[in-house]
Structure 1
Amino acid sequence: MLPLVAIALALVIGVVVLEYASFRALERIPSVATEEFPEIDRELLGKFSSFDPELGWVPQPNREKQKDTGDHLPGEEVRTTVTYSTDEYASRICPAKERDPDADLTVSTYGDSYCFCREVDNDKTFQNYLAQELDTHVANYGGGNYGLDQALMRLKRKYPEDPTDYVFMVVTASSIARILSVWKHYQEFGNILAVKPRYVLEDGDLERVESPVDEKEDLLDLESKAAFLREYDFHYEHWFKPHFASRPYTTDLFDKPEHLRYAGYTAGKEIERKFERSIPGIDFDLAQTQSALRLEQPRVRYHERLFDTHEYLFDALIEEFVDYADEQDFEPVFVMVQQLRYAKYESEHGPIYGDLMDRLDERYDDLTTIDMATHLSPDDGDVESLYVERGEGGHYSPETNAEIATVLTDVIEERAVVE
């Protein structure tokens, strides 16, 4: 009898341990949600220096930050850092040319982190290269994780203070998801500080839904705003709940081989970090990045479906951009750029935004559109070569930013001839 009891007890302990280990592994997988309202402590809140009650978050003026690019193995000396600097306007520094109020040509850019040019230095942004080609300052009002909605909101707030002849709106296709979001965590699990306003359509008109967070301290008790967040964030029902891990956690982990691979690569990185030496034969950092890209593919397909079901909201935001350009008398240019995960998918399946660019061209005579994917096509088909090799997640390399600047220069020169 005792041996049977001992065996049963061992099995129970084994199941409990395996469940706990599976849960901890799932916590580290970016495509899995394990908590609806993770705790936000005051230390984390204190680091959220970009909080803005109107936009959710926004780059602050006169700041300089240095970020480790990740271009080294565990235990190695940090070899490369990237410097992000902003001026008194909270625009990213443009070393090539200072602002000149008497300049014949003025240019500004708004959008997401691809507009901000994350992962490259101030002098390697496409804005800085564009300033060199045009011999004029180019303002950079990109915001990390911004969608078309927040970029438009920032434009309306900033433009009266810094008017320009041309405004380039530069976003990735993930904007289709971001404009449906109020709390990033419901679609980008773990992004728990990012609460934002959004637009909805009421009887064909855009109506702004303000952020439910008026003070940064309010982020400490987001659960009290659960009803609002769930109602206005489209992804709560359509992405968060389907990806929420539940018991038995072992099943959630072992049912998907990619979950196991990602967990293994993460464990390998932690072992290297702990012992401050690399394990020969495998680059765990690269393997984890490639695994993360594979885990991202369902999200790309999800965004592709959103362009089918919610293109009307995206189109309405573009119309608002065009109308604001007419009101303020500037030349509007809409630029679609690609995240790495989209580039790899679209090289095989075509653009996830379908005929969006053609549709915009037909609808708006005063809007210039640029599908950057058609200009950035490596001859060998290696789309990964367009992006930084290591780092936070596949932003464009300095060389690609230089190519983008050339494309934008051509647009301005062509428009000048037309006028």
Structure 2
Amino acid sequence: MLPFVALAVVIVGLAIALEVVSYKSLERIPAVATEEFPEIDRELLGKFSSFDPELGWVPQPNQEKQKDTGDHLPGEEVRTTVTYSTDEYGSRVCPAKSRDETGADDVTVSTYGDSYCFCREVDDDGTFQHYMAEELDTHVANYGGGNYGLDQALLRMKRQYPEEPTDYVFVVVTASSIARILSVWKHYQEFGNILAVKPRYTLEDGDLKLIDSPVDEKEELLDLESKADFLRTNDFHYDHWFKPHYASVPYTADFLDSSEYLRYAAITGCKELERRTGRSIPGVDFDAAQTESALRMEQPRVRYHERLFETHEPLFDALIGEFVDYADEQDFKPVFVMVQQLRYAKYESEHGPIYGDLVDRLGEKYDALETVDMARHLDPDDDIESLYVERGEGGHYSPETNREIAEVLAEIVEEDQ
């Protein structure tokens, strides 16, 4: 009898150990949610300097930050950083030409959008706004915001434009905006993005209705669970993405469900080993391997976003209509630009744009609107990844690509002069 009891204890112990290992591994996998309300401590909250009660978050004025590009091996000294600088308006600095250098008769240009508009992962003089300013010999304002949706871009434009009216306004976003405009709390669709609570619009009887952010003070982020009913009700992704990807007991079953989870966990473990020992494992680039694994796990999200364009395109269309109406009211030329994240570019190279012919249809529907599908203007030479930075946070355009984008956008302005 005792041997059977001992065997049972061993089996139970192994099962518990495997559950713990599985849970810890799932915590690191970006495609899996392990908590609905992860703890937000005051230290993390203190680092959230961009909080904004109206927009959720916004780049702050007169800031200079340096970010490690990740272009080094574990244990090596940081070799490369990028610098993000903002001016007194909260616009990213445009080294080619400042506002003070722009004459009264010069054409004026401003840009709004997400991190591809802000041009993350490149220096201030590597943004497409910098290259546009060189081409047009005028200041080009950059009001891009990391992780912004089309909704936040428009709200920021309406707040900022009266202080800085321009002849042209470019709204530059990626296809992920279709998901972002349905979001109230980013964690429900981008697991771990727990500080990002935002407003959103809904479409009721053909009219846009703004749902304000439920967080008026930054301190309220410490107790988001008290707002659970609001977040679950108003965030489309809670039912359609978060719950299907929420890991639960037994965690071992969820962990072993995907070979990609196992591969990602192994790669992450090797990176941790390199970090602790201060030595790289020869013959393997684990940063690149981890990026490739993460991109493979992103494909279901891309397909999910593709379905969102089929079901929620009217909301996207209505937001563009709001942009056009505001342009008519304020008398500027509106330009809408769709750019590609790396995860979409790889998928779309085989399946076509996840937004279909949306950009063309918007251009046909709104006579005053100029539209640009940037994927049609960039030549990757059969290597999509060549358009993007090689290392770092991943997936943003390189300075060379930003220069190409600037040429396309500057031509729109030059043709009208």
Q: Which region of structure 1 is more displaced relative to structure 2, 279-288 or 165-174?
A: 279-288
Give, in angstroms, the shift of residue 255 of structure 1: 1.3
Partner in structure 2 of residue 41 of structure 1: 41
Tell me whether 1:412 sits opposite 2:416 in the alignment.
no
Residue 72 of structure 2 corresponds to 72
| Distance apart, 1:415 and its partner CA | 3.0
Deviation at 1:248, TM superposition (A): 1.1
Note if 1:118 corresponds to 2:120. yes
**Is 2:384 the counterpart of 1:383?**
yes
2:242 aligns with 240
Between 201-210 and 233-242, the greater mean CA deviation after superposition: 201-210
Counting aligned pairs with the same residue, the percent is 79
Deviation string for 1:380-408 (max 9, x for gaps)? x1000000000112100000000000001
Among 172, 176, 179, the residue aligned to 2:178? 176
Letter in 2 for 1:27: E
Letter in structure 1 aligned against 2:2: L
The residue matched to 2:162 in structure 1 has which SS? Answer: coil
Q: What is the DSSP-based 3-state SS (H/G/I as helix, E as strand, rest coil) of the residue aligned with 1:336? A: strand
Per the alignment, residue 189 of structure 2 pairs with: 187
After superposition, residues 141-220 of structure 1 pair within 5 angstroms as 141-220=143-222
Quote how far apart the aligned CAs of 1:342 are: 0.3
Residues of 1 paired with 2:361 and 2:205: CA distance? 22
Matched residue, 2:63: 63
Counterparts of 1:377 and 1:313 in 2: how far apart (Å)?
A: 31
1:324 corresponding residue in structure 2? 326
Equivalent residue letter for 1:374 = R
Residue 91 in 1 paired to residue 94 in 2?
no
- Whole-angstrom CA distance in 1 between matches of 2:3 and 2:285: 46
The residue that corresponds to 1:5 in the other structure is: 5
1:309 paired residue number: 311
1:103 deviates by 4.2
User: Hey, what does 1:20 align to over in structure 2?
Assistant: 20
Where does structure 2 lack aligned partners over 5 or more consecutive residues?
none
AA of the residue aligned to 1:177? A
Give the whole-Å Cα distance in 1 for the aligned partners of 2:262 and 2:379: 34
Moved over 2 A (4+): none
Give the 3-state SS of the residue equivalent to 1:310 in structure 2. Answer: helix
Structure-2-length-normalised TM-score: 0.99
Distance 2:15 2:124 in 1: 52
3-state SS of the aligned residue for 2:71?
Answer: coil
Once the two structures are superposed, residues 29-65 of structure 1 have per-residue CA deviations (whole angstroms, 9 ceiling, x without a partner) of: 0000000000000000000000000000000000000
Equivalent position of 2:335 in the other structure? 333
Which amino acid in the other structure matches residue 87 of structure 1?
D
CA distance in 1, matches of 2:194, 2:257: 27
Distance (whole Å) between structure 2 residues aligned to residue 243 and residue 3 of structure 1: 40
SS of 1:291's equivalent in the other structure is helix
- 1:391-402 alignment to 2 at 5 Å? 391-402=392-403
Letter in 2 for 1:401: N
Q: Are the counterparts in 2 of residues 112 and 170 from structure 1 also a CA contact under 8 Å?
A: yes
Partner of 2:365: 363
Structure 1: distance between partners of 2:16 and 2:161? 58
SS in structure 2 opposite 1:171?
Answer: strand
Q: How is 1:344-359 mapped onto 2 (pairs within 5 angstroms)?
A: 344-359=346-361
Q: Which residue of 1 aligns with 2:52?
A: 52
Q: Distance in 2 between matches of 1:13 and 1:181?
A: 41
Residues 97-138 of structure 1 deviation map (CA, whole Å, 9 limit, x = unaligned): 011351421000000000000000000000000000000000
Please give the alpha-carbon distance, in whole angstroms, between the structure 2 residues aligned to 1:117 and 1:206.
29
Measured in 2, the distance between the counterparts of 1:257 and 1:38 equals 26
- How far apart in 2 are the matches of 1:127 and 1:355? 27
Alpha-carbon distance in structure 2 between the residues aligned to 1:413 and 1:93: 23
Q: Does 1:253 align with 2:250?
A: no
How do 1:260-275 residues align onto structure 2 when only pairs under 5 Å count?
260-275=262-277
Counterpart code for 1:53: P
Distance (Å, rounded) in 2 between the aligned partners of 1:414 and 1:15: 68
Flag structure 1 segments of 5+ consecutive residues without an equivalent. none
* Displacement of 1:291: 0.2
**One-letter code of the match for 2:172?**
V
d(CA) in 2 for partners of 1:172, 1:93: 22
Separation (CA, whole Å) in 1 of partners of 2:282 and 2:264: 18
SS at match of 1:391: coil
One-letter amino acid matched to 2:109: V
- 2:106 aligns with 104
Q: Measure, in 1, the Cα distance between the counterparts of 2:351 and 2:26.
A: 30
Counterpart CA distance in 1 for 2:165 and 2:199 is 24
Asked if the contact 1:103/1:136 (under 8 Å) is kept, the reply is no
Task: Say which SS state the counterpart of residue 195 (structure 1) adopts.
Answer: coil
Asked if the contact 1:50–1:59 (Cα under 8 Å) also holds between the matched residues in 2, the reply is: yes
Tell me how many residue pairs correspond in the alignment.
Answer: 415
Correspondent of 1:230 among 232, 246, 258: 232
- CA deviation string 1:230-287 (max 9, x = no partner): 0100000000000000111111111100000001110010000000110112111110
